[in-house]
């Protein structure tokens, strides 16, 4: 359905690849390197392109939530880290932000 985010789903190779593409953007914004960067779950929202909400395990008990925008294929634009939330825990729900 266009507009509403999907239900949370287990991470896939595709979502790991998307997160890996924006990892350097996040590390630059946070001014630190993450020892781990493993996707756990994701939600997808179809807009004029696609927003991915991705939960990523970044250290022992720390997680981050990413919002990554993927433009429509004909626009041929790179993946963009639109927003993110730090200091998340494993049990924190992945929701729209």
Residue boundaries of the structural domains of the chain? 9-88
pLDDT given for residue 2 in this prediction:
55
DSSP letters, 31-62, are: TS--S--EEEEEEEEEESEEEEEEEEE-SSS-
26, 64 contact by CB (below 8 A): yes
Q: Are 94 and 3 in contact (CB under 8 A)?
A: no
**pLDDT tier for residue 73 given thresholds of 50, 70 and 90:** confident
The mean per-residue pLDDT over the stretch 17-21 comes to 95
Q: Is 94 exposed, middle or buried (0-12, 13-18, 19+ CB in 10 A)?
A: buried
Specify the CATH number of the domain 9-88: 3.10.450.10
Report pTM: 0.89
Using the predicted structure, report yes or no on whether residue 5 has a pLDDT greater than 80: no
pLDDT at 1 over 80: no
């Amino acid at each position: 359905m266009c507009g509403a985010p999907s239900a949370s789903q287990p991470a896939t190779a595709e979502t790991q690849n998307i997160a890996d593409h924006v990892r350097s953007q996040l590390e630059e914004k946070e001014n630190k390197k993450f020892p781990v960067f493993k996707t756990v779950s994701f939600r997808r929202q179809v807009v004029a392109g696609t927003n991915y909400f991705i939960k990523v395990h970044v250290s022992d008990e720390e997680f981050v939530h990413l919002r990554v925008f993927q433009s429509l294929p004909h626009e041929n634009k790179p993946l963009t880290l639109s927003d993110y939330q730090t200091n998340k825990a494993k049990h924190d729900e992945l929701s729209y932000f």
